[in-house]
């Protein structure tokens, strides 16, 4: 237990409205989790999503040139995709 406390030694304070707290508490209770665990896990998931959406990747100069050339090319004609985009969405009757 001492190791667990050491790994969770940082405290983050957070101000929320009464409605936000009630919503968080309901969701945490639904999952059988504590408020702190729920907030920490949700915040970490969102942080990972934000960072992965802006993922940095490094390419050699040659590979970067090929990559940007592919991005700059006009799209190739795709008749099946065009047909799909012209079709109506199925109804949900």
Give tens-digit pLDDT for 45-90: 999 999 888 877 788 999 999 999 999 999 889 999 999 999 998 8
Would you say residue 14 has pLDDT above 90?
A: yes
- What span, in angstroms and rounded, lies between the C-alpha atoms of 43 and 35? 12
Q: Which pLDDT value is given to residue 7?
A: 73
Could you say which architecture CATH assigns to the domain 2-74?
Answer: Up-down Bundle (1.20)
Indicate the domain borders of the chain: 2-74
What is the reported pTM?
0.54
CA–CA distance from 68 to each of 31, 73, 76, 78 (Å)? 45, 9, 16, 21
φ/ψ (deg, to 5) at 50:
-60, -45
Q: Are 67 and 59 in contact (CB under 8 A)?
A: yes
């Amino acid at each position: 237990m001492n190791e667990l406390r050491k790994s969770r030694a940082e405290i983050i304070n957070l101000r929320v409205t009464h409605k936000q707290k009630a919503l968080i508490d309901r969701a945490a209770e639904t999952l059988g989790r504590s408020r702190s665990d729920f907030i920490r896990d949700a915040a970490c998931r969102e942080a990972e999503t934000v960072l992965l959406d802006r993922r940095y990747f490094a390419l050699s100069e040659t590979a970067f040139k090929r990559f940007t050339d592919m991005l700059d090319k006009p799209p190739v004609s795709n008749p099946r995709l065009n047909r799909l985009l012209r079709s109506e969405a199925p109804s949900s009757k």
